[in-house]
């Protein structure tokens, strides 16, 4: 779904990151944020400097998604991108959808199986797919994302394995890399791993999972992250000043050159 100026949602995301050092994205789980709270929440995020919203969750059983996305789109001009855990989390109201392959694991359902079912639906809805290599990183106890995807995470002390995995994904034509500890991760993705990936690859790296402080956000951007995604921490504290501090940390940190 393109915008009136002809730019894709992917291009809008990259432009936001390029202009400010890194993009700051808030992940909304419809199971956690009731629809009636969306307008006020979206306003707070926009005022705080958020660059985009991802929408998705590991379960998402309580929501009629199309109506929910329409409600969010009515409340914001920021890009709204699907971060689907299942086929049921794809809506034609989205600006784009992350076309996720879990390349950290070896579960064929999440490498290609679900994609075969999703592709005709995405085409029919006129959605913009953003091919995204999703890498779950070991982050402490088993996370929902690891359990639901049925795949082992990459070991957190092996940046070389993560970098080689990311490079393979880039060579396969992915347009985004996404490293994630999973929802509520105990330990965020290590800076050494972020640096190894961004030294090796030329496509942008998204980092999420377990980030709670502006200092942690800044460290990830300085290591090379091009986008920071925060969901869990903001679910627990959606104070405007806190969101603004997180966004400012992403925008103010100086990323290392890619490539």
Chain segment 200-220, per-residue pLDDT in tens: 999 999 999 999 999 999 999
Question: Is 105 a member of any domain?
Answer: yes
CATH number assigned to the domain comprising residue 180: 3.20.20.390
Question: Is 111 a member of any domain?
Answer: yes
Model confidence band, residue 43 (pLDDT cutoffs 50, 70, 90): very high
Give which of 109, 87, 83 is closest to 26, Cα–Cα.
83
Total number of domains in the chain: 1
Give which of 182, 193, 201 is closest to 219, Cα–Cα.
193
b vs e for 167-180, b when ≥16 Cβ sit within 10 Å of the residue's Cβ? Answer: bebbeeebbbbbbb
Res 86: pLDDT: 84
Question: Is 218 a member of any domain?
Answer: yes
The domain of 50 spans 9-252
Residue 176 or 88, more confident: 176
Model confidence band, residue 6 (pLDDT cutoffs 50, 70, 90): low
Question: Is 35 a member of any domain?
Answer: yes
Res 256: pLDDT: 56
Inform me whether the pLDDT recorded for 4 exceeds 60.
Answer: no
Give which of 189, 100, 105 is closest to 146, Cα–Cα.
105
Q: Where are the alpha helices (DSSP H) in 139-257?
A: 144-149, 159-171, 191-200, 214-223, 232-236, 240-252
Res 87: pLDDT: 83
- Would you tell me how many other CB atoms lie within 10 Å of the CB of residue 131? 17
Question: Is 69 a member of any domain?
Answer: yes
CA dist 108 to 14, 103, 105, 115, Å? 30, 10, 9, 10
CA 65 distance to own-chain centroid? 18
Res 62: pLDDT: 59
CA dist 129 to 80, 95, 132, 138, 153, Å? 13, 9, 9, 27, 24
Question: Is 4 a member of any domain?
Answer: no
Res 199: pLDDT: 98
Hey, is 63 helix, strand or coil? coil
Give which of 46, 128, 45 is closest to 92, Cα–Cα.
128
Give which of 156, 149, 43 is closest to 103, Cα–Cα.
149
CA dist 106 to 59, 141, 165, Å? 21, 20, 12
Res 259: pLDDT: 45
Structure confidence by residue, pLDDT tens digits, 83-138: 998 888 999 999 999 999 999 999 999 999 999 999 999 999 999 999 999 999 99
Give which of 82, 92, 86, 101 is closest to 25, Cα–Cα.
82
Question: Is 39 a member of any domain?
Answer: yes
Res 227: pLDDT: 98
For the chain, what's the residue count?
259
Contact by Cβ (8 Å): 134, 178: yes
Inform me whether the pLDDT recorded for 3 exceeds 80.
Answer: no
Res 250: pLDDT: 98
Res 143: pLDDT: 83
Inform me whether the pLDDT recorded for 64 exceeds 80.
Answer: yes
Inform me whether the pLDDT recorded for 58 exceeds 80.
Answer: no
Question: What does the pLDDT average to over 49-64?
Answer: 85
- Would you tell me how many other CB atoms lie within 10 Å of the CB of residue 128? 18
Inform me whether the pLDDT recorded for 237 exceeds 90.
Answer: yes
């Amino acid at each position: 779904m393109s915008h009136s100026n002809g730019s894709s949602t992917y291009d809008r995301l990259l432009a936001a990151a390029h202009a400010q050092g890194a993009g700051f994205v808030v992940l909304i789980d419809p199971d956690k944020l009731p629809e009636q709270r969306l307008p006020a929440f979206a306003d707070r995020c926009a005022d705080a400097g958020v660059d985009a919203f991802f929408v998705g969750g590991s379960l998402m059983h309580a929501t009629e998604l199309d109506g929910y996305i329409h409600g969010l789109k009515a409340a914001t001009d920021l890009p709204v991108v699907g971060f689907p855990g299942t086929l049921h989390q794809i809506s034609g109201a989205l600006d784009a959808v992350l076309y996720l392959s879990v390349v950290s694991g070896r579960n064929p359902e999440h490498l290609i199986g679900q994609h075969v079912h999703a592709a005709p639906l995405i085409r029919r809805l006129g959605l913009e797919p953003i091919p995204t290599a999703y890498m779950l990183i070991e982050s402490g106890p088993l996370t929902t994302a690891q359990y639901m995807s049925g795949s082992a995470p990459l070991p957190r002390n092996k940046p070389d394995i993560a970098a080689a995995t990311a490079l393979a994904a880039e060579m396969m034509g992915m347009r985004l890399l996404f490293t994630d500890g999973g929802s509520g991760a105990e330990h965020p993705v290590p800076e050494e791993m972020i640096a190894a990936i961004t030294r090796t690859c030329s496509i942008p790296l998204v980092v999420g999972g377990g980030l709670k402080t502006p200092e942690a956000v800044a460290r990830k951007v300085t290591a090379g992250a091009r986008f920071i995604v925060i969901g869990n921490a903001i679910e627990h504290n959606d104070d405007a000043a806190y969101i603004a501090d997180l966004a400012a940390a992403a925008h103010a940190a100086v990323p290392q050159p890619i490539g």
